[in-house]
Structure 1
Amino acid sequence: MTHVVQYSGGIGSWAAAQRVAAEHGTGNLVLLFADTGVEDDDLYRFLEESAAQLGAPLVRVADGRTQFEVFTDQRFLGNSRLAPCSAHLKQRPCRRWLEANADPARTVLHVGIDWSETRRLPAIVKGWAPWTVRFPMCDEPHLTKRQMLDWARALDVTPPRLYELGFAHNNCGGACVRAGQRQWKHLLATFPDRYAAAEASEQRIRADLGDVAILRERVRGESRPLTLTELRRRQQDTLL
């Protein structure tokens, strides 16, 4: 059997690959990475370093667009409730690779979702049919993210720097549209250039689509768009 790990650069997919390698070896192990083109530079370092430590090939696939280019093409601004970038930049490139290289009858796909997100499993299994999908980090012993990070350090693999900088996930350089206000505020403080780029992209899309935004807020019981521009201005006002 061929074992393909969806290798995102997150610590969960790294830990999943470790468990797959321990159980099945690395002779038929593939680390499949879908590159969004907007990842933190250190994610690529982590991928190369951890793949070398495992002794398994790292395969990169890419759509070629960024998430905001997808939103422009789809005429829809991704947000925490619906983000078409995931399907276009990750799922579809990976599926194309699987269709060309991985016989469903002889391939198991491993995903790094852990025990705290089991509600997501049925949709993932359905979405990747006809391939068999396994979730190594849902098996016992259950590990926290901190334990996974410590595990990597114990193997002399330096974890991705976004975790040390206070980000919950190592994806999209910290500028994930699924994130909430707290992470966007943290991005503004930590990587203001990335925030500025996302803000400018949001404004360009708003000029075309109208009053849409990545974030929302509730005002007097009603939900309304909250732009990155407005969020930045509020944060700057608190510092005055």
Structure 2
Amino acid sequence: MQYSGGIGSWATAMRVKAEHGTDNLVLLIADTKAEDPDLWRFVADSSALLGVDPVVVADGRSPWQVFADQRFVGNSRIAPCSVHLKQKPCRAWLDANADPANTILYVGIDWSEQRRVLAIEKGWAPWIVRFPMCDEPHLNKQQMLDWACAEGLRPPRLYEQGFSHNNCHGVCVRAGQRQWRHLLQVAPDRYLAAEAEEEKLRAQLGTVAILKERRQGVSYPLPLRELRRRAALPSQPA
């Protein structure tokens, strides 16, 4: 199964274990070179609980290196980092090690994300894909976190820091302005590092940015530097 280090993928693995056991279970995880070190702590703890050693694959680049190589800055709609750092390494491993005729691929999205099912199934063909957390009983994220605690696990710290996903250390190009503002508040060092990387890409590629804003119906790039400047402005009087 696709094991991301998020709480949903762990809950998925637990349901797969309960139904099928672990003799033929593979926890396949891609190293993007951008994750919170605590993600790897959770992967180690949770895979030990499952009794399955994770299989780690890696492209070797970071998301910022991918953006530079592709000459394209990832955003909420198009994220080449996901394609090159997760999908391609995982698919290469599947091509080499997993026969679609007798392999089921489990993915950790839950019932609140069912709109993604068809695209994921199409993207991973010819493998059959299943989504155990889309099945009843439906659990929300907090219930999954509580379940992990009940099993003796310490959940990933990004959830405690207010992030909805445990990926890319909270520095995710798919996130919107709200998450980036939250990152600036709780981890300004990580925000500033991302801002510096974006500025390097802007120097190479021109007026591009991870974020966008709309003014009078027209979409414009919104650099992280500008978002930070606005966040520092004093509130306007009512």
Q: For this structure pair, what is the TM-score category when the shorter chain's length is used for normalisation?
A: over 0.9
CA distance in 2, matches of 1:100, 1:220: 51
CA distance in 2, matches of 1:182, 1:126: 31
- The one-letter code sitting in structure 1 at the alignment partner of 2:229 is R
| Residue 104 (1) aligns with residue 100 (2) | yes
Identify the structure with the greater strand proportion. Answer: 1
| Residue 195 (1) aligns with residue 219 (2) | no
Structure 1 length-normalised TM: 0.96
CA RMSD for the aligned pairs? 1.2
- The one-letter code sitting in structure 1 at the alignment partner of 2:114 is T
Aligned length: 236
CA distance in 1, matches of 2:159, 2:150: 16
Please give the secondary structure, in 2, of the residue aligned with 1:109.
strand
- The one-letter code sitting in structure 2 at the alignment partner of 1:92 is K
| Residue 62 (1) aligns with residue 58 (2) | yes
1:18 corresponds to: 14
Please give the secondary structure, in 1, of the residue aligned with 2:27.
strand
2:27 corresponds to: 31
1:120 corresponds to: 116
Output aligned runs, 1:108-187, within 5 Å: 108-187=104-183
1:215 corresponds to: 211
Please give the secondary structure, in 2, of the residue aligned with 1:225.
strand
CA distance in 1, matches of 2:119, 2:181: 31
Match of 2:89 among 88, 93, 109: 93
Gaps of 5+ in 2: none
- The one-letter code sitting in structure 2 at the alignment partner of 1:66 is S
- The one-letter code sitting in structure 1 at the alignment partner of 2:208 is V
CA distance in 1, matches of 2:184, 2:57: 29
Output aligned runs, 1:38-49, within 5 Å: 38-49=34-45
Question: C-alpha displacement at 1:34, in angstroms?
Answer: 0.6
Instruction: Extract structure 1 runs of 4+ deviating beyond 4 A.
Output: none
CA distance in 1, matches of 2:61, 2:190: 17
- The one-letter code sitting in structure 2 at the alignment partner of 1:234 is R
CA distance in 2, matches of 1:102, 1:194: 37
Structure 2 length-normalised TM: 0.97
CA distance in 2, matches of 1:94, 1:48: 19
Please give the secondary structure, in 2, of the residue aligned with 1:224.
strand
- The one-letter code sitting in structure 1 at the alignment partner of 2:33 is G
Question: What does the per-residue CA deviation read over 1:29-82, in whole Å, with 9 as the maximum and x for residues that have no partner?
Answer: 111111111101110000000000010121101111111111110111100111
CA distance in 1, matches of 2:94, 2:76: 28
CA distance in 2, matches of 1:39, 1:186: 17
Question: What does the per-residue CA deviation read over 1:192-230, in whole Å, with 9 as the maximum and x for residues that have no partner?
Answer: 121111111111111111111100111233211100000
Between the aligned residues of both structures, percent identity stands at 69
CA distance in 2, matches of 1:157, 1:210: 46
CA distance in 1, matches of 2:186, 2:58: 27
1:229 corresponds to: 225
